[in-house]
Every structure is written in C-alpha cells, then in structure tokens.
Structure 1
C-alpha cells in the first residue's frame, strides 16, 4: 500500500503499483519520499487528467499462454479512473495552499 498525505485532506491510500504509475505520469518517483508543491499542482492536475483511459489486457498464464480470468474483474479500471482520487486530493490541497507528500 502507498499513502499520500496533505494537511488539506485525509490521507489517500492506494495500491503501490497504481501510485507508482501515477507518480511516473507526473514526473515523480515512488522509490523515495517526495512532495508535490502547490506551485506544481496545475501541471500535475493536467498530467493526471490526461491519464490514459486504456485498460490493460488480463494477465496471461505463462504455461498455457491463455488469459487468466479473474473472478472479481468483471469491469477493468483504467489508469484515468484510478487517478480520480488523487486529482481530487490535488485540487483540494491546491485550494488550501498545502503540499502533498509521500514516503514520510
């Protein structure tokens, strides 16, 4: 699990892989503690709102090369949809003039 924190909002917890993909999209790294400064938030929002709506294909069984059907995956979620909570957090933090941090 990965946690984004800001004095303007409650903590935002998401899967590590999703957080890494979103941070990469905005030019940041999840590998070490980081910060999104208020001055950078317009650029970050633009990048997050432009997150791909592409839904990756299901995983493949390496032995049979057949797609693995996941019982809970009746509707895949795109990175664009997964970015929505972080977009809301950035908007609120920007409105209150507070940075967002992680890894601290």
Structure 2
C-alpha cells in the first residue's frame, strides 16, 4: 500500500506502507487505508514525531558507544533515517495547522 497524505495547505506527501505505518503509530493513529489528522491534533503529532526522531538518534549513538567500548562495530545504519522520512509530513502538518486545514489519506 502507498500512503498519499493530502492537504489544501501543502503539496501531497507519499510514503510506502512500512514508513507510513510507522509514522502513524508514532502519532497515535492506527494504520488504515483511510484517515484524517485534524488541525487541533497536529501540534501533539509533530511533537511525538520529533521526540521519536531524538529517541532514534540517541539510541544509535548509545549503540555506537557500547559497540566501541566492546571493540566491535555496528552494521551501517539504515540508508534513510526517521528524520528524513518524516520531515515532509512534519512540514505538511506545520503548514496545515497554520492554515487550519486537515490532512487526509485514502480519500
């Protein structure tokens, strides 16, 4: 499945299912073929994504430090981080919230 997030305040954001599901779970939504993010919910959603990004980056730094202390190396990190995957949707939420417009997908 492909998620196509749409809002009257910004251009469309497209995500493949694994990334879309992950981001929706972060913001407290159940992954589904159709959905909506209301403007009132956007500040908390943005904060949840930003917190998840920091948590992911801190976990990687800690894993690298632990590996270095044990004299081993970690496999390379994923090619695309959560920060990179989520940024377009966070930007869309900021624009949509400023214009008091919802974000929908699957409609």
- State the TM-score, normalized to the length of structure 1: 0.74
**Superposed displacement of residue 19, structure 1:** 0.6
> Does the residue aligned with 1:48 lie in a helix, a strand or coil?
helix
Higher helix share: 2
Could you list the per-position Cα deviations for residues 43-87 of structure 1 after superposition, in whole angstroms to 9, with x for gaps in the alignment? 0010111122367xxxxxxxxxxxxxxxxx996222122111111
Q: Is 1:80 the counterpart of 2:86 in the alignment? A: no
Q: Is 1:94 the counterpart of 2:97 in the alignment? A: yes
RMSD: 2.1
- State the TM-score, normalized to the length of structure 2: 0.72
> Does the 8 Å CA contact 1:50/1:80 hold for their aligned counterparts?
no
Would the alpha carbon gap of residues 74 and 21 (structure 1) be closer, same or farther in structure 2, given more than 3 Å must change?
A: closer
**Superposed displacement of residue 16, structure 1:** 1.3
Distance 1:96 1:22 in 2: 22
Task: Please show how residues 7-86 of structure 1 align to structure 2 within 5 Å.
Answer: 7-51=8-52, 52-53=56-57, 76-86=79-89
What is the match of residue 5 of structure 2?
4
Distance 2:101 2:86 in 1: 19
Distance 1:75 1:28 in 2: 24
> How many residue pairs are counted as aligned between the two chains?
88
Higher strand share: 2
